Structure 1
Amino acid sequence: MGAWGHGIFDDDTAYDYVDEIDNSDNPKEIFKNAFETAMNAEYLEYDDCHAVTVSASYIDSILNGTKPRVDAEDENFFQFVEKNKHLDVTDLKPNAVKALKVVISDNSELNELWTDNEELYPKWKGDIEELIERLK
């Protein structure tokens, strides 16, 4: 796991999705696909987990103005949110919540990896649960 902290953006794989979303002509489709992949997976792979958490964070920021902790050197997230603050993503909230629940379930590689860290697992999971609550 290429993580340096428990935050959603404290992982190299998360920034791969930031770049993908930032360079997309249809970011809403990326969000939608990430959530559908999670909801249809028997077991959600590591990269797909990050696609869900990053996509949900974008939606949270667009709709609720939440400012997640991102790497100081990577302002693409905030630039994207500012540029797309009028993007209508409200219809994606229910699927975001369902997909995030998969990420913190026993059918998730990311959850499985985090359970090995007794100290940070509750913080990581708590961050995801707070995101779920904001998107309900």
Structure 2
Amino acid sequence: MGTWDIHPFDNDTAADFANDLDDADMLEREALIRRVLVRAADSKDYLEAPEAEEAVAAAALVAAQCSDTGPANIPYGPEEPIPTLSADLRSLAVEALDRVVADESELSELWEGAEGGRAWERSIGQLRQVLDPAPQAQGDALFAI
């Protein structure tokens, strides 16, 4: 696994995906992101690691647009700008992430028990939380101690 850390673009496959996005015409970038997310979300069979790694990277690009803090600087991510993505990609990205961490996912299996595996799971959970924030129940603490 050409992986150097737990973040969405910290592997060779995701870095190649970033390069593909940079090489694509601006008008084709959203379609490329959508195809990657659909391929993972709709996978009924064993999800291979490269497809899962691309899906995590694509989900991170969608999540980066869920904030009003401006464009995110994603290390190893695309250098060219990503157009404003359609709102429906948020739910598709959540489905793809759920598939990445589900049974029959090679990437999940590779991280299971590996050094940094728990941190990787948390990073996927954080991405999912940005994409689909659960409403905070009344009386819930804002900060966990």
The TM-score bracket by the shorter chain reads 0.7 to 0.9
**Larger CA Rg, structure 1 vs 2:** 2
Which letter does structure 1 place at the counterpart of 2:39?
T
| Cα distance, 1:90–1:109 mapped onto 2, change above 3 Å | same
- After superposition, residues 68-87 of structure 1 pair within 5 angstroms as 70-71=75-76, 77=78, 79-80=79-80, 83-84=81-82, 87=84
Cα shift at 1:62 = 2.6
Note if contact 2:66-2:130 (Cα within 8 Å) is conserved in structure 1: no
Determine the structure 2 residue equivalent to 1:104: 101
| Cα distance, 1:61–1:5 mapped onto 2, change above 3 Å | same
Note if contact 1:7-1:69 (Cα within 8 Å) is conserved in structure 2: no
Determine the structure 1 residue equivalent to 2:119: 123
Note if contact 1:57-1:68 (Cα within 8 Å) is conserved in structure 2: no
Note if contact 1:57-1:131 (Cα within 8 Å) is conserved in structure 2: yes
Whole-Å separation in 2 of the counterparts to 1:67 and 1:134:
13
- Between the two proteins, the alignment pairs up a number of residues equal to 127
- Name stretches of at least 5 consecutive residues in structure 1 with no aligned partner: none
Taking structure 1 as the reference length, the TM-score comes to: 0.83
- Name stretches of at least 5 consecutive residues in structure 2 with no aligned partner: 133-145
- After superposition, residues 45-64 of structure 1 pair within 5 angstroms as 45-64=48-67
More helix by percentage: 1
Note if contact 1:44-1:107 (Cα within 8 Å) is conserved in structure 2: yes
Taking structure 2 as the reference length, the TM-score comes to: 0.78
- Report the identity percentage: 28
Alignment partner of 1:21 is 2:13:
no
Indicate the RMSD between aligned Cα atoms, in angstroms. 1.9
Determine the structure 1 residue equivalent to 2:42: 40
SS at 2:33's partner residue?
A: helix
